[in-house]
Amino acid sequence: MLVRPLPDAHTFTSAAEMRAHYADVRKRIYGEPKKQEFKCVEVMNRSIPVEVILSEVAAFYCVSLADILVGKTSALVTIRYVSMYLACRVGKKPLRHVCKVMNFHVNTVYDGISKIQERLSHDAMLNSQLKALTSRIDQLLRK
């Protein structure tokens, strides 16, 4: 059996160079990421894209929209659950609509919303954050 030698390992001079190489490899393997289309939900008889709700949540917590949608750390998962909760509560749309818009399975969205509702009973900080986010979204609608 003929064994081929491994190619030379890359040597990176910086973390940014390594991240750029990693992004290039991912692009070659998986192709370009798809652009997500966001549908609209109705709030106060006005139409507001779920993207706006997600971007307000992202701005409030100082994270990117991509981090909310694909982040794996526990803090990002909680932020994702908050955005699911707000999309259902403020948007007053069915659960399946939010699942379709955010591209998650119905069980994921249901569990996220129920975890936030459970935490609201004893977490005053989360309660105040949700009130602040709701008022920010309401201010956007009034403009």
pLDDT, averaged per 10 consecutive residues of the chain (143 residues), comes to: 59 75 76 53 57 88 90 90 87 77 88 91 92 87 73
What pLDDT, on the 0 to 100 scale, is given for residue 26?
A: 74
What pLDDT, on the 0 to 100 scale, is given for residue 41?
A: 45
What pLDDT, on the 0 to 100 scale, is given for residue 95?
A: 81
What pLDDT, on the 0 to 100 scale, is given for residue 46?
A: 55
What pLDDT, on the 0 to 100 scale, is given for residue 33?
A: 59
What pLDDT, on the 0 to 100 scale, is given for residue 42?
A: 46
What pLDDT, on the 0 to 100 scale, is given for residue 36?
A: 46
What pLDDT, on the 0 to 100 scale, is given for residue 141?
A: 75
In the three-class reduction of DSSP (H, G, I as helix; E, B as strand; rest coil), residue 40 is classed as strand
Tell me the whole-structure pTM to 2 decimals: 0.66
What pLDDT, on the 0 to 100 scale, is given for residue 89?
A: 80
Give dist(CA 127, CA 119) in Å, integer. 9
Can you list the domains of the chain with their CATH numbers? Answer: 47-135 (1.10.1750.10)
H/E stretch holding 66 reads helix 65-70
Q: Give me the numbers of helices (H) and strands (E) for the chain, helices first please.
A: 7, 2
